[in-house]
Structure formats: C-alpha cells, structure tokens
Amino acid sequence: MRKRDIFKPAVTKSVLLFLAGFLWFCVGTMLLVFAYSWLSEAPGTISLMFFGFGVVVALLVHHFGFLKIVDKNIERILPIVEKKCLFSFITWKSYMVIMVMIIMGTYLRHSAIPQQVLAILYTGIGLALILSSLRYLRVFINEIKK
C-alpha cells in the first residue's frame, strides 16, 4: 500500500452506485424546490401550464440524455472488484460538466429571464435527475442483494 492511499477514501462499488443515485436525487429535489417556489408565485393556470411543460422537458431529458449517462456510469462501476475512490462514481470529465452547469444555473437565476419561465427548465432537469437516479438505486439494490 502506498502512503498516499491512506488518505484515499476507498469504497465498494455498491457505495458508488448508492452515492451516485442519492446525489442525483438530491440535486433533482433541490431544482424542483427552486421551480416550486417560483411557480407558487404565479397564477394557478400559468403554474400548471409551466409545470406541464417542465414535465415534458423532464421526460425528454431523462430518456434522451440522462439515461445514457447513467448507463455509461453503471457500466463503468459494475466491473469494479476492489475498492475505488469515493469520488469515482462519475468521471473527471463529468465533474467539469457539473461545474459548467452550476455556473450556468447561477447565471440564469440572476438573469433577466422571468423565474416562472426558468421553472420550466428547473422542473425538467430536476425531475429528469430524480427519474434517472432511480436506475442507479435499482442497480444498487440488486448489488446489495448479491
């Protein structure tokens, strides 16, 4: 064992799967809370319509975007035999994408775009993250049953 490995938070693939699913779920929930707070200030009909658009966006993003990412991560994690670094539940490239998304989200929240309109995007991405997290969690449950 190398000296630097002492400080490496190594975990099993089950923990990586759980962590990925849990974080996707938490971030999705956070985005939905933002969207809800913005839509709760709008008239009921507008809120319902914007939420409906957000659900459509969510289904599209989930099916055509996030599921591919989830499947790639799961395919990368499942063959792992030995313990890996806690932060390896996603690739380094994905960390860069996350940073760009955080910066874009911060920019959008502080832009001139009405928050009710942003709620469509936040609902879409938030719900898509939650739906996609279920695949991680399903694989996690199958792994701990083994």
The C-alpha atoms of residue 51 and residue 8 are separated, in whole angstroms, by 43
The C-alpha atoms of residue 114 and residue 66 are separated, in whole angstroms, by 26
Q: Mean of the per-residue pLDDT values for the chain?
A: 92
Rounded to two decimals, what is the model's pTM? 0.89
Q: Confidence class of residue 51 from pLDDT cuts 50, 70 and 90?
A: very high
CA 95 to each of CA 24, 67, 90, 91, 100: distance values in angstroms, whole numbers, following the listed order = 13, 17, 7, 7, 9
The C-alpha atoms of residue 11 and residue 33 are separated, in whole angstroms, by 31
Among residues 142, 136, 115, the alpha carbon closest in space to that of 28 is found at 136
